[in-house]
Amino acid sequence: MGRAFWVLGTGTDVGKTFVSGFLVAGLRRRGREAGYYKPVASGGVRTPGGLAAADALWAAEASGLGDDPVSLGGCVYETPVSPHLAARLEGRPVDRGRMDEELARWRTIRDPLVVEGAGGLAVPLDDRGTLMADLAAASGLPAVLVAAPGLGSLNHTALSAAFARGRGIPLLGVVVCGHRPQDPVERDNLLWMERMAGAPLLGVLPRADLPERPRDWTAAQRESFVSLWDEGTWGRFEAALGEGRTG
């Protein structure tokens, strides 16, 4: 079974999908058979093949994966609300058994497998109180924590990292997404990030000026996306991946 790791966020809309698609694209560029899986998602979109996670569509397009986007999502809900509420409104409880089976199946096909979480670590998945962090912890896999670059991020990162450890999720490190180097707050936050997270700062992704949908990217834009990290950063990331308990 191949290696796998989670991409979890300090909250909603901090860049988990951007980071996930970038990591898959970059690892594949470096010769790895990387793949993507989203165990639970709300706000799904209708496709000819069925209901697909919007994040899976984006990640597949951004990374050039040839997999059917519908197959990249586990329990996908159409209602754009928290998973526990979407499951209740649509009358379909989150199916942990199905997600576990699909995660195991994808790990026999892709190595490493990037597993993207939903929302932040404390997002509820069902009315029993199962949280996103519980799903990640039960898998036994480590996680990359995605953090926003701006004001408030240090607090969110410190709390999320502590919460992850409290649930038994090993952290490979932090990736900051959407950084603007001209912003003094964001520059200073980078200096504090490792101390607040208690984990390495694996890399920083700048705010990218790209069309919203990867299918609209030019060849030059696609190249700029996959080249956002230099070789040194990729080396540090792969070293952390190798040292983490990913298999």
Give the count of beta carbons closer than 10 Å to the beta carbon of residue 78.
14
Respond yes or no: is residue 38 known to be catalytic: yes
Give the count of beta carbons closer than 10 Å to the beta carbon of residue 217.
17
Where does the pLDDT of residue 242 fall: very low under 50, low under 70, confident under 90, or very high at 90 and above?
confident
Residues making up the annotated binding site for substrate are 42
Rounded mean pLDDT, 81-97: 95
Residue ranges of domains in the chain, CATH in brackets:
4-243 (3.40.50.300)
Residues making up the annotated binding site for ATP are 13-18, 55, 116-119
Residues making up the annotated binding site are 13-18, 42, 55, 116-119
Structure confidence at residue 245 (pLDDT): 61
Catalytic one among 10, 23, 36, 38? 38
Burial, 142: exposed, middle or buried (Cβ in 10 Å; 0-12, 13-18, 19+)?
Answer: buried
Tokens of 229: 């990290």
pLDDT in tens, 93-142: 999 999 999 999 999 999 999 999 999 999 999 999 999 999 999 999 99
